[in-house]
Each structure stands twice: as structure tokens, then as C-alpha cells.
Homo-oligomer: A and B are copies of this chain.
């Protein structure tokens, strides 16, 4: 049998987005599925779907942002029975319409809240903190721009060892951060809604007090009504001109405009930011600051988690095509 004919017998998966894991998925699993890639065709999406995807039973879609699964798209897919999203969130799916048509939904399950991702998040938080304090990315720019060989002196950074660090949100990721910082001899304090009876760290019920008594704040909490703009002007002024903020939570937890003003005017010392108010758009004022490290929302995603997520996606697809229960179904 020709390879092409063999491919036709593979289950057909429509790819929308595509998800960031797709290149890996394609390289590993093209022998098990036939992936439909609309972005390769010079056609409006609805026309592509009408021409090529009438028999498609399953689709894989990337997480939120600009990729939406609308009822217009769903209308073009009469055979659709399964939607797999590579995200935890499902806000980008027209849930009522999918339910009405009896389409099953699977997501990333609790993959990003498992130990492996917590550790990844903890690792990046510590990495961003060392990077800001010791100016590693700034030093890398300095060397690559050829300034070192011009015998300029690179200004020294601050030491992490022994510093007083405040963790905002001592959940699973926050605890992983704290554990790592203990190895640096840091004095850990934290703020959270309630005191954790098991945590061997100083508790501050008020984030302002935490900032006033520490040299760096690491934001690890979730975004809620209560944490929206929790890190405001007063908190930043309390942290002070040598103070550093690391944010691996959500952009909206910090008043970003005020933070940029504080960074520019030297009212805080620096920031390591994995998240922003309006991703993937990062305020351009940050691009020219040497006291910030900018990261493209990469704290939780590692090569290892990409491999795990790809396996989870494939396991859901295979379960569906062999009439078994989904591995990580989204239920109402």
C-alpha cells in the first residue's frame, strides 16, 4: 500500500491554532494520525473546512487568546464528535453549542498543577530572581554588544544569599519557590489569605507589611477579585528602591503602569516578569530598561511538560477512537 493511501486510513485530526506543542506532536505521532493543517492552504477557514473537513470527527485547538472555536466553525464540521484543547481553560470554546451537539471535550486536565509544573514554576521564579539581582541577562547583552572588550566595567549586582524574600501566595508553586530559596540561606516570609499552620515561615496578613519587611516579592498567587492590582503603588514604595519584584502569577496582579513608573524612576530596583497585563503585548517602555528581565509566559512550560502534554493529547485522541473514556474530559 502506498504511504499516501495508508495515511488516508489514519484518523483525521483538524488542528486549529496551532498549539505550541504541535510541531512536537507532528514529529512524534504522524504515524498514528493524519493532521489537517488549514494554515497551509490559501483559503478562508470556513471554505477549507467545507472542502476538507466534512468527515473530521476530532479537532485539536490551542488555548485561548486569539484562537476561538465559534459556532460558525462548528457549523462547518457536521461530523465533529471531539474537541481537545491544549490548555486548562476552555473560555475559547463555544461550550453551549458543543454540548447541544453532543461533542465531547478534553483539556490539559491538571497537568499544569502537578508537581512537575510546580517545580518548573519554582525553578523559573528563582532563576528570574537571580537574573534580576545579579544582572545575568543584562550582562549577556553587555558581552554580546562587545562592550566588555572595550574595557567598560559591568556594574555588579546584588547577592541573593541571605536576602529577606516575601512570597505572595504560598500555594504549591509558592512552596516550591520557598524550598529552593532556603538553600540560598534566604529568610522567607509570605502573605496569603490564611496562615498556613505547617509553613515554617513568617506570615504577614497584609502584603504592604510583607513588602516593607523584605527585599524581594515573588508573586505566585492566582488572579482573583481580591488579588487584582494587589501590588499597587503603596506596596511598591514599601518594597523600596533596592527591592525586586518577580511575577510568575498573572499580569493583572500588579498595577503594571505604576510598576513601569517605579522601575523607570528608580522607586523599585528591578523586576523579573513572566506575565503581563495584556499578553503577548508587553509595554514597550520595558524593552529599554536594563533592570528588568522579560519572559514570554514560560514559567510552567518546559520541554518535559510539552512531552507530557503531547502524550495527554494523544491519549485522549486514542481513547476517543477506540471508544474508551477520555483521559481528561471537561465535565460541566
* Chain A residues near B (Cβ < 8 Å): 20, 66, 116, 119-120, 122-124, 126-128, 130-131, 134-137, 139-140, 142-144, 146, 148-149, 151, 153-154, 156-162, 179-185, 279-282, 287, 293-296, 298, 301-306
Contacts and interface: CB of A to CB of B under 8 A. Distances in A.
Given A130-B126, A156-B303, A295-B140, A280 B161 contact: no
A294 B140 contact: yes
B139 A304 contact: no
Given A157-B303, A303-B156, A134 B183 contact: no
B124 A134 contact: yes
A149 B294 CA distance: 13
A156 B303 CA distance: 5
A248 to B, nearest CB: 12
Contacts of A120: 159, 161
Contact of A136 (B157, B295, B304, B305): B295
Given A180-B183, A183-B183, A296-B148, A156 B306 contact: yes
A148 B183 contact: no
B302 A185 contact: no
Given A116-B159, A183-B179, A303-B158, A282 B136 contact: no
Given A119-B185, A280-B148, A302-B158, A136 B293 contact: yes
Given A127-B134, A136-B128, A143 B302 contact: no
Nearest to A66: B151
A179 B151 CA distance: 34
Contacts of A185: 119
A3 B181 CA distance: 49
Contacts of A124: 130, 134, 136
B144 A287 contact: yes
A141 to B, nearest CB: 8
A305 B139 contact: no
A306 B135 CA distance: 15
Contacts of A279: 148
5 contacts: A134-B302, A143-B287, A143-B295, A149-B281, A159-B304
Given A156-B302, A293-B136, A127 B123 contact: no
B130 A295 contact: no
Contacts of A182: 183
Contacts of A126: 126, 130
Nearest to A288: B144
Given A116-B159, A120-B159, 13 more contacts: A20-B153, A123-B159, A123-B184, A124-B136, A136-B293, A140-B295, A148-B280, A149-B282, A156-B302, A157-B303, A158-B303, A180-B180, A181-B183
Contacts of A130: 123-124, 126-127, 130
A135 B136 CA distance: 12
Contacts of A123: 130, 134, 159-161, 184
